[in-house]
């Protein structure tokens, strides 16, 4: 169970250190010429704002699109088709879109993803209003809306690293800021989306997403400036560029160990949330409300963990933060197998969310720190490809285990798997040092921006 997927972008089609005391900005360096240099961190608040706006719109679509299909005469089968096409399109393009990110640049890719996604969502509503929306056209527009979400996620993740380094913010703190925004929106969006759907209809939710995407693109255009001359895209055949990204991934001992190792553990975490907790809610708690309570408890813990780790990132060793988040899952699985009182279970899930929040912040920080900027899209794309393969495989395997061996046996088996993997990771030479590169230390300016937002 982890804090979530890669930071940035529009999640599934795609996190915040909110320190309330206000701090003064560090004074920007003066140029040697006639003009004062622009503040090197001026784009970070705009990136935070754009991400929050786009995530709110995405949350509205996660509720609004299935409801729109049903309200316009579709059945659950059609809902499944639309959802599957959108998820598959995002995954495939995320795997293959790395060279695109490196070729056209982080900022342009992020804006392109938002503009295309928002335009496609708006087109669904306009065509429906004009009685010209067929089901195949709806599926096609859903695919268009999600196709660039993977590259957009990669681009925003790279932008976080670029802007954090420019302003002297610890990478873990910057990543935690975006994680926290995502968790906060996830907590409030179901109730907000349901209210909007009940009062204005599901098509309004899709319009909100369209408007949010376009507004976020405008914020990126106006608030996140490109520094320095534009770099031409890397030459070569597309598949050769993908191979170059994999070569970079394999060339760094920490990345070479961390990416596949973290991918396997994250895949097990996905199976825990999507299969095990659902089965536990049905078989043990006997109510769907129990599942909602467990998911909400984890989201609350993840939000608290993102805020706390964002504030304390420079004081907590990366390796300790990474493995603590996985160790607590072993305890949670053992607790689930023992059938604890609901209050104890929810408290344990909150703790798991708190300790699991730093996992993704640390993993992404390693990539942002060690991958050359010209190859970031391809390396992140290779990571996305591994995730796209591992997560469904883990979900399928755990589903078969629950159906065949039973819930308790599956819980014990998963706890053993986690224990073996964590022990192996602690002993793996490539995972013994999560080296922190110098030069990313100013944390107070991030707190100022979070307070301002």
Whether 296 and 435 share a structural domain? yes
pLDDT(10) > 90: no
Domain boundary among 241, 265, 297: 241
Tell me the mean pLDDT in the region 368-380.
86
Which of 251, 265, 314 is closest to 425 using CA atoms?
265
Q: Residue 8: which region, alpha, beta or left (left: phi > 0; alpha: psi -120 to 50)?
A: left
Whether 270 and 337 share a structural domain? yes
What pLDDT was estimated at residue 66?
87
CATH number at residue 393: 1.20.1250.20
Mean pLDDT, rounded, of the chain: 81
What pLDDT was estimated at residue 322?
93
Q: Indicate whether 432 belongs to any domain.
A: yes
Least confident of 80-89, 229-238, 335-344, 365-374: 229-238
Whether 178 and 266 share a structural domain? no
Tokens of 25: 């900005």
The 10 Å Cβ neighbour count of residue 230 is 9
Quote the number of domains for the chain. 2
What pLDDT was estimated at residue 328?
94
Give, in order, the Cα–Cα distances in Å from 443 to each of 184, 312, 437, 446, 450.
21, 9, 15, 6, 11
Name, in order, each residue with C-beta under 8 angstroms of 30's C-beta and a sequence gap of 6 or more: 36, 37
Whether 207 and 273 share a structural domain? no
Q: Indicate whether 91 belongs to any domain.
A: yes
Q: Indicate whether 15 belongs to any domain.
A: no
What pLDDT was estimated at residue 42?
61
Whether 162 and 289 share a structural domain? no
For the full predicted model, state whether its pTM sits above 0.85. Answer: no
Whether 155 and 252 share a structural domain? no
pLDDT, tens digit, for every residue of 159-216?
998 898 888 888 899 999 999 998 899 888 878 888 888 888 888 999 999 999 999 9
Whether 172 and 299 share a structural domain? no
Whether 252 and 322 share a structural domain? yes
Whether 88 and 204 share a structural domain? yes
Domain boundary among 208, 241, 274: 241
Q: Domain limits at 303?
A: 245-448
pLDDT(98) > 60: yes
């Amino acid at each position: 169970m982890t804090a979530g997927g890669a930071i940035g972008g529009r999640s599934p089609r795609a996190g915040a250190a909110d320190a309330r005391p206000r701090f003064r900005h560090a004074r920007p360096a003066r140029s040697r010429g006639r003009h004062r240099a622009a503040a090197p961190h001026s784009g970070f608040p705009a990136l935070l704002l754009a991400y929050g706006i786009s995530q709110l719109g995405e949350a509205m679509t996660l509720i609004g699109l299935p409801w729109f299909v049903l309200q316009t005469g579709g059945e659950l089968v059609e809902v499944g088709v639309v959802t599957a096409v959108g998820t598959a399109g995002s995954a495939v393009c995320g795997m293959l879109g790395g060279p695109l990110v490196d070729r056209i640049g982080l900022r342009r890719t992020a804006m392109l993803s938002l503009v295309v996604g928002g335009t496609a969502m708006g087109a669904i509503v306009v065509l429906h209003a004009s009685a010209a929306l067929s089901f195949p056209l709806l599926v096609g527009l859903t695919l268009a809306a999600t196709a660039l979400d993977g590259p957009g996620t990669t681009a925003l993740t790279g932008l976080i690293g670029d802007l954090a380094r420019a302003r002297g913010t610890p990478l873990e703190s910057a990543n935690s800021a975006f994680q926290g925004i995502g968790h906060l929106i996830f907590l409030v969006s179901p109730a907000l989306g349901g209210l909007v759907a009940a009062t204005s209809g599901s098509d309004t939710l899709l319009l909100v997403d369209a408007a949010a995407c376009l507004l976020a693109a405008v914020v990126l255009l106006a608030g996140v400036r490109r520094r320095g001359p534009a770099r031409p895209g890397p030459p070569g055949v597309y598949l050769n560029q993908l191979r170059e990204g994999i070569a970079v991934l394999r060339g760094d001992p920490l990345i070479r160990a961390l990416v596949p190792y973290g991918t396997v553990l994250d895949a097990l975490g996905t199976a825990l949330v999507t299969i095990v907790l659902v089965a536990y809610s049905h078989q043990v708690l006997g109510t769907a409300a129990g599942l909602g309570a467990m998911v909400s408890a984890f989201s609350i813990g993840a939000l608290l963990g993102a805020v706390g780790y964002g504030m304390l990132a420079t004081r907590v060793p990366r390796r300790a933060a990474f493995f603590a988040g996985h160790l607590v899952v072993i305890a949670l699985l053992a607790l689930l197998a023992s059938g604890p009182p609901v209050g104890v279970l929810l408290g344990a899930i909150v703790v798991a969310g708190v300790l699991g929040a730093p996992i993704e912040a640390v993993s992404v920080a390693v990539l942002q720190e060690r991958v050359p900027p010209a190859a970031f899209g391809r390396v992140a794309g290779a990571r996305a490809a591994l995730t796209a393969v591992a997560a469904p495989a883990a979900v399928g395997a755990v589903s078969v285990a629950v159906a065949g061996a039973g819930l308790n046996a599956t819980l014990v088996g998963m706890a053993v798997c986690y224990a073996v993997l964590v022990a192996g990771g602690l002993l793996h030479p490539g995972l013994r040092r999560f080296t922190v590169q110098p030069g990313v230390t100013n944390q107070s300016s991030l707190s100022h921006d979070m307070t301002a937002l």
